[in-house]
Structure 1
Amino acid sequence: MTTFSDYLIFVDESGSPRMGGDIDQQYPIFVLAFLLVKKTDYAQVINPAVSAFKFKHFGHDQVILHEREIRKDVGAFKFLKTPQIKQAFLDELTEMIAAMPVQLCCVVIDKAKHQAKYRTPVHPYHLGLQFGLERVLGFLEKNGEQHMAHVIVECRGKTEDDDLELEFRRICDAVPFTTSKVKLEVVFADKKSNSAGLQLADLMARPIGISVLKPDQPNRAVDVIRPKLMVMNGKTTGWGLKCFP
């Protein structure tokens, strides 16, 4: 019988991985966020907290907390068009995130610099996946894990999912993954999946991206997210936060 890791890994993105002439000059980066949570914390702390937040603000827990929809006041978040209501909502959301027992690794790729530096640049999603999985593996090994861990990603369409799975397996079929006792397995979650882990990864990805683009801009969300970035040798740079190139 397979023995499983004590951790789950949730992956979500901010920005488009497209390059060429499609780079958005207002947000020319691609962020891939890897959220690591202990299963006991996920069951006993995270899921109940997210549900309680939704019950308070929506009366039910079927709403998906999408960063983009919250930011733009659309869909289930149209009621946030009133500034005072939105500020109160964001304050509570930030407090909830601050209390979450999670570890975070964010890979931030500057697409324009990446494209300018390399004649045949690697696809940003593939590059982010490699950097992120390497750091996830290091974290799990550092914490004594020796079993299979599941990496949960949101479905993006058959072609994209097939491509991602192929790249995931290519990465895991090479060193250091082949020499580790930790094994990683990708799991695809339906876009309508009400996964608290995926929602938290989504909520954290863009604030980290903005903090890289505009490091001097005050950002309360980043202030509560930054302490959750993984640390190696006392530093988050290059570990919990990997910027490339």
Structure 2
Amino acid sequence: MSYNLYLDESKMSGNNIGGYSVAGVIIEEGTQLYNVRKELGRVKSEIWSSKFGYGKSKQIVFHEAEIRSHRGATLARKPEYSAFRKAKNVRTAVNGIGNIVKKFNLPILGVVEDQKAIEEAYKTKRDSHTSYYLALEQIIENYCYFLKNKHSVGRIICESRRNKDGSVLDQRVRKMYMKILVHGTLRYSASDLQDCLKDIIFIQKQENEAGLQIADFIPRPFLINYFKIEQTKPSIYQILRKARYDGGIGAKYGASKFGICIYN
């Protein structure tokens, strides 16, 4: 048995707010991953099959920010996103993601960091690099806890940020990953981590990987909730909240320890 942890990130700034989140979803390889991909294709077909047919519809990539904005530059690059001018199609897409998480009982892992609070408390400067490292270390620790409970192994899959200038950002994340695997974490030795984790890989958005498209919808709702901002409608936050991995000890105590960890 093997699992994939698909990760994405989100940040929030303004009005004395500085927040950063890395979070994602665990999907078992094999039958579960196949069924998740099939269900995501079905959701897309609800939106586009009448225009493009099922085959082309399932090849269209979901991106939450553009689904919710569907304006100007987005439509110039993705004319098919004009479908999201209809609120009904936005609901189909967003709620479709939430229903997949719920239907397949997909565990959520992640970290929310209040960068401003940490800067003030510890007299230091936080940026995306330092915040990502902190999040990745905690996520790796909790992912290994999950894998040990399942007597299994897994890999981490991130969206590639390769561009015309190369893959510097991907290489930076890989270096973080390797550093954590060499040094271990507070609770796990390097050998513990290496026994659990197979690799970290980077997949570009246009490859249409279902797990990454689901992960794209996960970090921001937790950031919004932390800063007590009203969730963007339609919202799947309550579904995601209930899906936080609880480590087998129950949501009351486990979800904030093993699921979504808060640093402030």
TM-score in terms of structure 2 length: 0.78
State the match for 2:156 in structure 1.
151
Instruction: State, as a whole percentage, how many aligned pairs show the same letter.
Output: 19
Which stretch of structure 1 is more off in the superposition, 102-111 or 169-178? 169-178
Confirm whether residue 13 of structure 1 aligns to residue 32 of structure 2: no
SS in 1 for 2:30: helix
Code of the aligned partner of 1:118: Y
CA contact (8 A) 1:37 1:101 kept: no
* Deviation, structure 1 residue 224: 1.2
Q: Whole-Å Cα distance in 1 between the matches of residues 82 and 101 of structure 2?
A: 22
Who is 1:67 aligned against?
64
- Give the paired residue count: 233
Letter in 1 for 2:183: A
Q: What's the counterpart of residue 28 of structure 2?
A: 38
Whether 1:133 and 2:137 are equivalent positions in the alignment is no
- Match of residue 116 from structure 1: 120
| Farther off after superposition, 214-223 or 135-144 | 214-223
Residues 198, 90 of structure 1: alpha-carbon distance in 2 compared, 3 angstrom cutoff? closer
1:148-200 alpha-carbon deviations (Å, 9 max, x no partner): x2211111232211111111100011232523231341101123220100010
Mapping 1:183-222, distance limit 5 Å: 183-214=197-228, 220-222=235-237
Amino acid at match of 1:139: F
Structure 2 unaligned runs (5+)?
Answer: 50-56, 75-79
Residue number in structure 2 paired with 1:172: 181
Report the more deviating stretch, 156-165 or 38-47.
38-47
The 8 Å contact of residues 95 and 236 in structure 2, kept in 1 or not, is answered as no
Flag the 1:198–1:177 CA change in 2: closer, same or farther, 3 A: farther
The one-letter amino acid of 1:196's match is: A
Root-mean-square deviation over aligned CA pairs: 2.5
Structure 1 position 84, deviation (Å): 4.7
Q: d(CA) in 2 for partners of 1:55 and 1:224?
A: 23
Give the Cα separation in 1 of the matches to 2:58 and 2:17.
Answer: 31
CA distance, structure 1, for counterparts of residue 124 and residue 150 of structure 2: 37
**Partner secondary structure for residue 179 of structure 1:** helix
User: Aligned partners of 1:217 and 1:161: how far apart in 2?
Assistant: 30
Q: Which has the higher helix share?
A: 2
Tell me the distance in 2 between the aligned counterparts of 1:244 and 1:135: 15
- The structure 2 residue matched to 1:238, chosen from 236, 257, 263, is 257
8 Å Cα contact 1:137-1:177 kept in structure 2: no
Q: Is the 8 A contact 1:34 1:132 kept in 2?
A: no
Question: Any conservation in 1 of the 2:160–2:205 contact (CA below 8 Å)?
Answer: yes
User: How much does 1:214 deviate?
Assistant: 1.6
Aligned AA (1:141): K
TM-score (norm 1): 0.84
Sort the Cα spacing of 1:174 and 1:88 in 2 relative to 1 into closer, same or farther, 3 A: closer
Deviation at 1:101, TM superposition (A): 3.1
| Structure 1 counterpart of 2:11, one-letter code | G
Q: Which amino acid aligns with 1:236?
A: A
Deviation larger for 81-90 or 126-135: 81-90
8 A Cα contact 2:246 2:259, kept in partner: yes
